[in-house]
Amino acid sequence: MNLFQKFNSLSLKSNLVSKPDGAYDLWAADYDSQPDNMMLAWDEDIFSRLINTMDLHNKIIADIGCGTGRHWKKIYEREPKKIIGFDVSEGMLSILKQKFPESETHHLINDELKELENQSYDMIFSTLTIAHIKNAEKALHEWSRILKSGGEIIITDYHPTALAKGGRRTFNYHGKKIAVKNYVHSIEKLKGIARQLDLEVIHFIEKSIDESARPFYEKQSALHVYESWKGTPIIYGIHLKKPDVVK
């Protein structure tokens, strides 16, 4: 997929809006072959900045919406005890398995984690995923349930301001442009849910379309898109922490 198929589609209708499971099954084979994809590059930057403040050594980590395991090499370098991947797309999990044959992965149905025990994970990572989940409140409640006391959560995704403005995740498949279904969850809403769950916001990062984005657009002859979206928040990351309850 070409990055500016995405950004050009911010103002164009796609041929098909698809649920995440089916869409990412189609996208999986090419997902890791996007060297000029600004969103993946900026997600990598935000995720790296957030985990640089955390101690992953000997931790059990759930990666929800793990996809092809884009961040796993970086995570493994920090010596966690275990990473367990969860995704709605069997196609994406298949690619992850090719890259990390010994990995433990689970195919999610309806974004549910019912079989997981309470307080069984030290950390939960979910990158470029939560806007695909219709009921973000239910998801965060589940994540908090399986998170150990003192555990931490990292969430990154397309900024709701961009999605509300018409931004879409799209890719080309056999001549058709496919948009993956998104839901707009405002930052205020997500922070409010976190407060209800007694999850503390440790760090919050957001990036807007600015001069650092210009080279991505220039490569695709899409400066008109750059000008129309300049100043728009496009991606965010949030680091949450559960209280450390002493028994």
Per-residue pLDDT of the chain (247 residues; tens, 9 = 90+): 334 444 444 434 445 889 999 999 999 999 999 888 999 999 999 999 999 999 999 999 999 999 999 999 999 999 999 999 999 999 999 999 999 999 999 999 988 898 999 999 999 999 999 999 999 999 999 999 999 999 999 999 999 999 999 999 988 898 899 999 999 999 999 999 999 999 999 999 999 999 999 999 999 888 999 999 999 999 999 999 999 986 5
Could you tell me whether strands 104-107 and 176-180 are parallel, antiparallel, or unpaired per DSSP bridges?
Answer: unpaired
Structure token digits, residue 243? 């209280």
Please tell me the predicted confidence (pLDDT) of residue 35: 86
pTM strictly above 0.75: yes
Please tell me the predicted confidence (pLDDT) of residue 246: 66
Cα-to-chain-centroid distance, residue 161: 16
Structure token digits, residue 51? 């985990």
Cα-to-chain-centroid distance, residue 60: 19
Please tell me the predicted confidence (pLDDT) of residue 53: 95
User: What percent of the chain clears pLDDT 90, i.e. is strictly above it?
Assistant: 82
- Terminal CA-to-CA distance of the chain, rounded, Å? 50
Q: What one-character-per-residue DSSP string does 25-68 give?
A: HHHHHHHT--TT-HHHHHHHHHHHHHHTTS--TT-EEEEET-TT
Residue position matching structure tokens 């979206």: 229
Domains and CATH numbers, the chain: 16-242 (3.40.50.150)
Nearest to 238 by CA among 125, 147, 141, 80: 125
Please tell me the predicted confidence (pLDDT) of residue 15: 56
Residue 158, number of CB atoms within 10 A of its CB: 23
* Dihedral Cα 237, 33, 5, 158, nearest 10 deg: -10
Q: Give the phi and the psi of residue 173 in degrees, each rounded to 5.
A: -140, 110
Q: Which amino acid is at 112?
A: E
**Mean pLDDT, rounded, of the chain:** 92
pLDDT by residue (tens digit) across 14-38? 458 899 999 999 999 999 998 889 9
